[in-house]
């Protein structure tokens, strides 16, 4: 699951409306919650670009940006195994983790 890209109904910040979009599962918090990062095909957005070369299993239709500032906690029930789009290569996922850590000021 971690390192996987899934298509989910992503809640807006008001949690009343949703938009279908791909997300990268960043971390499992507990048995019910996950941290995810949304993806966009708008390559002008700030974030980390991923391409077809970064994918281990399956594929992305287009190059995408992982929107780092939009780290979001969601209920695990929003992730449906059948809606998995792709899995990142481990080395690419590690690079993303490092960039996220830099972005959020980790030591």
Report DSSP state, residue 51. -
Looking from the CA of 21 toward its CB, the CA atoms found within 13 Å total 21
How much is the pLDDT for 91?
94
CATH of span 4-104: 2.30.30.110
pTM for the model stands at: 0.87
Q: Which residue has tokens 């700030």?
A: 46
Torsion of CA 20, 24, 30, 31, to 10 degrees: 60
| Burial (CB count <10 Å: 0-12, 13-18, 19+), residue 88 | buried
Query: Cβ of 27: how many Cβ atoms within 10 Å?
Result: 15
How much is the pLDDT for 107?
62
CA 25 to chain centre: 5
Report DSSP state, residue 79. -
pLDDT by position in tens, the chain (length 107): 899 999 988 777 777 888 888 999 999 999 899 999 999 999 999 889 999 999 999 988 899 999 987 888 888 888 877 788 999 999 999 988 888 888 777 76
């Amino acid at each position: 699951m971690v390192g996987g890209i899934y298509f989910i109904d992503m809640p807006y910040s008001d949690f009343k409306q949703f938009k279908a979009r791909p997300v990268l599962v960043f971390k499992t918090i507990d048995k019910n919650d996950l941290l995810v990062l949304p993806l966009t095909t708008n390559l002008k957005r700030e974030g980390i670009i991923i391409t077809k070369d970064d994918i281990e299993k399956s594929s992305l239709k287009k190059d995408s940006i992982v929107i780092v500032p939009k780290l979001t906690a969601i209920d695990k029930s929003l992730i449906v195994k059948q809606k998995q789009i792709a899995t990142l290569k481990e080395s690419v996922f590690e690079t993303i983790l490092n960039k996220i850590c830099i972005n959020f000021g980790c030591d």
